[in-house]
Amino acid sequence: MLNCFVETLSVNAYGDLELENMQIKYFDKLTAVTKWIALFSICLCGPNALAQSGSRAAPTGGSGSRLPTVSAPTQPLVAQPSFASPQGFAPVESSTAVQAFAPGETFSTPQIFGTTEPFVPAQSNMSQPSAADANVTGGNSQLGIPQSSLVDPVFEIHDPHSRFSVDHSPWDAFLQRYLVTGPSGVNRIKYAQVTACDQQRLNCYLQQLQSTDVRALNRDEQLAFWFNLYNAKTASIVLQHYPVRSIRQIKQKFTDFVGPFDDPGVVNVLGKPLSLNDIESGIIRPIWKDPRIHYAVNCASFGCPNLPADAWTAANLDARLNSAAYNFINSGRAVKSGCAGIRLSKIYKWYQDDFGGDEQSVLAHIRQYANGQTSNLLCNCTSVSGYFYDWSLNDGKVTRRRLFESWRR
């Protein structure tokens, strides 16, 4: 019993306390109280009272007008075979490849951080999902996790022969300037140091992405597009509300209990207003059906897989997904030893269906990438004793508490 108590108060490998420790634990208790207050208010005032107080204007373009709605083309979808993660791989370093649309084609990208050269993505060995299989259900609705279900059929459309590529150099420049890696390998953003000028450049990049006709891209280019849009928009939302200790403290209205992930219309692509959860669970998950996507999207928290040091691109995409899975699983944030056995990141509980549907399938997936100490923890392991997650903001600002914990180590 004493060991369990000490373990709960122990400092994790990356210098912040775990979810079960104090900060987020009490935040969750406060959230539970606010839920009861909200339900009581609905009973007294009716269901429309809270909904009306939380309304907000629809997203607009940079000039204040609505982004144009792009009509869907009539060509049939191209069905391609679904895939599974490869068994053998070696971790690779991510490479930054600056890409831009050819002039006079679908659109031209603004040169925000200097000139770029046209780039033709290399042929990827990453097999593609079937369009017929895109409308699937899944996820863990009992835990409040969105199901994997296509938000709109227009996002299935792609051009398998396309050589167009999107310019992600502004996001690269932002990451190179403000992303720092802690001593334990956790990537953080120096939110407090981001200048107003660079924040505006980030917003321009997000507007550029939202004006992209994603239907004209091939599948690899599309996946890189959605990864970067999700990660860059998440960082932008944090910057708009900084300082905060956790992204879950960012709320659009009183009844938000899990942060900004369900806020409607934070981005607008092809005239469709989308939330962050729409991007992840309404587009990426149902179309690609690859558990490794959970190592690519970053929710601005310490418990999340690392935000990569450069933008995702179609080049070497499959190898980079393998490397991201390997790095997270062996980082100490995916698997830990517990009082009664191993504990796993809550990512494997929230999205268990994506990893096979049960604990045994989850463990089999983790074993594909486990190495060293993580592999030893999984020896003779047949069940999971618990789950953990740290919602602390991935803030690069050095605090007195982090200095103290670093000194202790």
pTM: 0.69
Which helix (H) or strand (E) segment holds residue 345: the answer is strand 341-345
Which helix (H) or strand (E) segment holds residue 276: the answer is helix 276-279
DSSP letter, residue 23: H
Q: What's the pLDDT score for residue 404? A: 42
pLDDT (tens, 9 = 90+) of the chain, 409 residues, equals 444 443 443 333 333 334 333 444 444 455 556 666 766 666 566 655 444 444 333 333 333 333 333 444 444 433 333 334 444 444 444 443 333 333 333 333 333 333 333 333 333 333 344 333 333 445 554 456 899 999 999 999 999 999 999 999 999 999 999 999 987 788 999 999 999 999 999 999 999 999 999 999 999 999 999 999 999 999 999 999 999 999 999 987 776 778 999 999 999 999 999 999 999 999 999 999 999 999 999 999 999 999 999 999 999 999 999 999 999 999 999 999 988 889 999 999 999 999 999 999 999 999 999 999 999 999 989 899 999 999 999 999 865 454 444 333 3
Tokens of 339: 């009082």
Tokens of 298: 């970053």
Give just the sign of the alpha carbon dihedral 388, 358, 305, 137.
negative
| Closest to 52 measured CA to CA, from 37, 66, 41, 40 | 41
Coil/strand/helix, residue 296: coil
Contact by Cβ (8 Å): 164, 224:
no
Token pair 């000028």 is found at: 197
Contact by Cβ (8 Å): 166, 217:
yes
∠ CA 260-26-50 to the nearest 5 degrees? 45
Tokens of 23: 């900060």
| Closest to 214 measured CA to CA, from 84, 314, 112 | 314
Strands 386-388 and 341-345: parallel
Q: What's the pLDDT score for residue 297? A: 98
Q: What's the CA gap between 238 and 209, in Å, rounded?
A: 19
Cis? peptide before 86, omega within 30° of 0: no
Contacts of residue 368, defined as CB under 8 A and 6 or more positions apart, other chains included, come to 85, 87, 325
DSSP letter, residue 164: -
The CA radius of gyration of the chain, in Å to the nearest whole number, is 21
| Closest to 96 measured CA to CA, from 315, 256, 331 | 315
Kindly tell me the number of DSSP H helices and DSSP E strands found in the chain.
13, 7
DSSP letter, residue 66: P
